């Protein structure tokens, strides 16, 4: 149980995330795993969806705004009873009941992420905060995919987890690598 913060007590405690719906523990409930894949119409996302759909216990929901992805990548699953495709921009709030979230929605190629740097920052920051908020609300596990771009132009090879990187904060790539780095926190 979380303690309430008081003025006299400086120890800060945070509210624990909610558990998944109690319905999931009910005897009659068939324990399917509902999985959200943002950016699921893209290269990595669509292959991940193929893999997740192989498991008959999985229901997969893809949200994508088709900025760089395509419905074509998912055509074999469209109409499948365990699959749902939603055109949605992750910078807007999304309310879905899911157990897991794979957050991949972001342009990955320099041509695309430099096309509208402000939008790329919004997708990285607001989109990811929205997904973290959703995960917290519904008690879902979340995987945020990052990028080696967080190391910028690295001076150390290979980079290990402790390396801070060599990122140019005012360079043309900063809308992608700086924001991705921020979200590694």
Ligand X SMILES: O=c1ccn([C@@H]2O[C@H](COP(=O)(O)OP(=O)(O)O[C@H]3OC[C@@H](O)[C@H](O)[C@H]3O)[C@@H](O)[C@H]2O)c(=O)[nH]1
Q: Which residues are catalytic?
A: 176
Question: Which of the ranges 10-18, 29-37, 64-72, 161-169 carries the binding residues for ligand X, by CB under 6 A?
Answer: 64-72
175 touches ligand X by CB under 6 A: no
Site size with ligand X, rule: CB under 6 A: 23
Residues within window 112-141 making contact with ligand X, judged by CB under 6 A: 123
Handedness of CA 16, 22, 27, 30 (dihedral sign): negative
Stated length of the chain? 185
How far apart, in whole angstroms, are the C-alpha atoms of residue 69 and residue 134? 23
Do the Cβ atoms of 147 and 176 come closer than 8 Å? yes
Which range, of 21-29, 43-51, 76-84, 132-140, touches ligand X by CB under 6 A? Answer: 43-51
Whole-number Å distance between alpha carbons of 126 and 133? 10
Selected binder of ligand X within 24, 32, 44, 117 (CB under 6 A): 44
Q: Does 102 bind ligand X (CB under 6 A)?
A: no
**How far apart are the C-alpha atoms of 130 and 10, rounded to whole Å?**
29
| Closest distance of CB 29 from ligand X, Å | 31
**Cα–Cα distance between 99 and 21 in angstroms, integer?**
10
Residues at the contact surface with ligand X, assessed by CB under 6 A:
39, 41-45, 64-69, 89-90, 104-108, 123, 145-147
């Amino acid at each position: 149980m979380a303690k309430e913060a008081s003025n006299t007590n400086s120890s800060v405690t945070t509210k624990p995330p909610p558990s998944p719906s109690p319905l999931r523990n009910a005897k009659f409930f068939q324990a399917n795993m509902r999985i959200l894949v943002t950016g699921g119409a893209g290269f990595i996302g669509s292959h991940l969806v193929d893999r997740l759909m192989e498991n008959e216990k999985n229901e997969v929901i893809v949200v994508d705004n088709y900025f760089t992805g395509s419905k074509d990548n998912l055509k074999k699953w469209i109409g499948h009873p365990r699959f749902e495709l939603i055109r949605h921009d992750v910078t807007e709030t999304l309310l879905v009941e899911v157990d897991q979230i794979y957050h991949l929605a972001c342009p990955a190629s320099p041509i695309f992420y430099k096309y509208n740097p402000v939008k790329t920052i919004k997708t990285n920051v607001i989109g990811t905060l929205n997904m973290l908020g959703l995960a917290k609300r519904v008690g879902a596990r979340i995987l945020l995919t990052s990028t080696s771009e967080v190391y910028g132009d690295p001076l150390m090879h290979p980079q290990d987890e402790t390396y801070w990187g060599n990122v140019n904060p005012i360079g043309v790539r900063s809308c992608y690598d700086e924001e991705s780095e921020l979200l590694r926190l």
